[in-house]
Structure 1
Amino acid sequence: MTAYFRPLVQHSSARPDGAVPLAGQKLWFTHAEQLSRTDAPSIVTVKDIPAKVLKRLTCPRPEIAGVAMDRPQIMGILNATPDSFSDGGVHNSVEAAVSAAQQMVAHGASILDIGGESTRPGATYVPEDEEIARTQPLIEAIRAQTNALISIDTRKASVARAAWKTGAGLINDVSGFTFDPQLAPFCAEVDAPVCVMHMQGDPAEMQNDPQYDDVLLDVYDFLEGQVEKLEQMGLSRDHIVVDPGIGFGKTQAHNLTLLQNLSLFHGLGCPVLLGVSRKGFIGEIGQEPRKDARAPGSIAAALAGLSQGVQIVRVHDVTETAQALRLWAAVR
């Protein structure tokens, strides 16, 4: 029986004996929920967690491309696409993208995630040359204006190579390195920090009828397997971020299950990225059909993730999220 351990995260400044830090942060835990595919969940103490698992749950996460992982970081979304679900067409010109990037950094973003292919439900494939033409000039111009870490949101090796050459410092693959067999070897070749996301299916059909045996454990097992494959290719685990892929081949129930149990993913020993901004389930639960009016719901979900130790939140509304994060941190 494979056992999984989800830390029951606390944040009080008064800690009982035996409390251990979560991923080197101020958050801590004394107990965890033990899960398996065969037995009912149970609560165990940290003494009952295997040493290898406990080390991964507690050890500090090193910087990712110079960005500290011992405190929450904001990744600003900047899509150079005509059809992204929320901001398609907004940043098509270099001037608009540079202006948006400067504002995001000034208001609290330490990472800028630039994408040239929409991965919204129902999106179609974008040829590599077109994706490069959309992203490379933006990265070059933004690199000249800011020192923020630039992430290229792509699943294609040629796009990642062009972005890396131009100044990107993180490769964010929504397919979890399953789409292009050349992408992982390239990242290993240049020792690029990467983000591995879980997605069931392809954007064109991922929301048709997503099914899981156990969405939490299925996503965890996928990410664990991909992290191990990347390590075998030569990438250090210290250079890998994981993302459970909220909204990518998941129903509302799947999304909520993942959000409620995010602390499980610290068992992978990697920083955890959460991307929930403006997504459909936020509109459904928050009763807001307008995508650009979902900042309150997006922030609520992001703060729920930060309460479980998530290191990076990927957002459209940087200014509002940064303000909320500052208040959240001050209160805690």
Structure 2
Amino acid sequence: MRRDRPLVMAIVNRTPDSFYDRGATYGTEEALEAAERAVAEGADIIDVGGVKAGPGTDVDVAEETRRVVPFVAELRSRFPDIAISVDTWRHEVGRRACEEGADLLNDTWAGSDPELAVVAAEFGAGYVCSHTGGAVPRTRPHRVRYPDVVADVIAEVTGRARQLQDLGVPAEGLLVDPTHDFGKNTWHSLALTRDLGRLVDTGWPVLVALSNKDFVGEALDLPVDRRLHGTLAATAVCAWQGAAVFRAHNVAETCQALDMVAVIKGDKPPAHVIRGLV
């Protein structure tokens, strides 16, 4: 994988009720086209999810498996070199996905199912350690409070990463995610964006999932389909502070923003320089 800029994790939702695309990639062919487009646009990781994060229609293990596992197998066949992530909190789905070639388990619900970590250790898969403030899957925060949200995130995700390492999950596959909006209000998510460097300074690679989220919409008073520019501004702020992976709906735009930050930081050269030289 490239190392001259942070990695981009493209989101492919196998759900009919995603908050962002409203089911645009629920169908298999549509999802495959989205994955192919993401790879062409520069994605390093494809993240497949089969259950909407927020409240909605119940999706049991069998249905989540149906949505996710055969698609992972097809991705592995079509893109042997791309990293495949599965957004799930259930160990049954994680196991089946790893059997079909998934590389990373993106546990956005902070160890709600402890057996998911056991699956990661068994298969040598990577793992995303998230922070939800104790929220259970598919719930929204209500008047949640933290004396210092950044400190709370650091303590929880780094402690979890150490536990998983002791369990046998490869250290090089562990990521920590402040998990914007999950168990948090907009003030919390803004603080995590502003002070992300404190989490980066722990030494664990940081994944951020900012894309079109409510904190962007509330900051700018914009609906979900008009949050791209705000998302890219937050992306640049987090990239400057050293985030390692960005989970994104808009891959091409995210890659360009990250490339620009990397050039400004001096991590990669400009693509083409002739001004003042000819």
Output the TM-score relative to the length of structure 1.
Answer: 0.75
> 1: CA distance between counterparts of 2:258 and 2:149?
28
Residue of structure 1 equivalent to 2:207: 273
1:112 partner SS: strand
From 167, 171, 176, the counterpart of 1:233: 167
> 1: CA distance between counterparts of 2:169 and 2:178?
20
Residue of structure 2 equivalent to 1:328: 261
1:89 maps to 2:23: yes
2:243 partner SS: coil
Conserved 8 A contact 1:194-1:240: yes
> 2: CA distance between counterparts of 1:330 and 1:230?
34
Which has the higher Rg, Structure 1 or Structure 2?
1
> 2: CA distance between counterparts of 1:280 and 1:72?
23
Where do 1:182-201 residues align within 5 Å?
Answer: 182-200=115-133, 201=135
Conserved 8 A contact 1:196-1:226: yes
> 2: CA distance between counterparts of 1:154 and 1:106?
25
Ranges in structure 2 where 5+ consecutive residues have no aligned partner: 266-278
Shift in alpha-carbon separation, 1:270–1:83, aligned structure 2, 3 A: same
1:253 maps to 2:187: yes
From 84, 103, 106, the counterpart of 2:37: 103
Conserved 8 A contact 1:196-1:240: yes
> 2: CA distance between counterparts of 1:69 and 1:220?
24
Residue of structure 2 equivalent to 1:15: none
Conserved 8 A contact 2:50-2:87: yes
1:268 partner SS: coil
> 1: CA distance between counterparts of 2:156 and 2:2?
26
1:171 maps to 2:105: yes
Q: CA RMSD in A?
A: 1.6
1:135-156 alpha-carbon deviations (Å, 9 max, x no partner): 1122122222223111000001
How far residue 68 of structure 1 moved from its aligned partner, in angstroms, is: 5.0
Conserved 8 A contact 2:117-2:127: no
Conserved 8 A contact 2:175-2:207: yes
> 1: CA distance between counterparts of 2:59 and 2:203?
33
How far residue 96 of structure 1 moved from its aligned partner, in angstroms, is: 0.7
Q: Which moved more, 1:102-111 or 1:279-288?
A: 279-288
1:222 maps to 2:156: yes
How far residue 186 of structure 1 moved from its aligned partner, in angstroms, is: 1.4
Residue of structure 1 equivalent to 2:147: 213
How far residue 123 of structure 1 moved from its aligned partner, in angstroms, is: 4.1
1:319 maps to 2:252: yes
Conserved 8 A contact 1:74-1:313: yes
What letter corresponds to residue 170 of structure 2 in structure 1?
A: S
Shift in alpha-carbon separation, 1:124–1:227, aligned structure 2, 3 A: farther
From 68, 71, 74, the counterpart of 1:141: 74
Conserved 8 A contact 1:80-1:88: no
> 1: CA distance between counterparts of 2:234 and 2:205?
18
1:244 maps to 2:178: yes
2:5 partner SS: coil
Residue of structure 2 equivalent to 1:11: none
Q: Which moved more, 1:155-164 or 1:197-206?
A: 197-206
> 1: CA distance between counterparts of 2:26 and 2:109?
24
Ranges in structure 1 where 5+ consecutive residues have no aligned partner: 1-66
Residue of structure 2 equivalent to 1:78: 12
What letter corresponds to residue 257 of structure 2 in structure 1?
A: A
Shift in alpha-carbon separation, 1:238–1:130, aligned structure 2, 3 A: same
2:76 partner SS: helix
Residue of structure 2 equivalent to 1:292: 225
1:155 maps to 2:121: no
Residue of structure 2 equivalent to 1:59: none
Shift in alpha-carbon separation, 1:169–1:204, aligned structure 2, 3 A: closer
Output the TM-score relative to the length of structure 2.
Answer: 0.89
Where do 1:26-65 residues align within 5 Å?
Answer: none
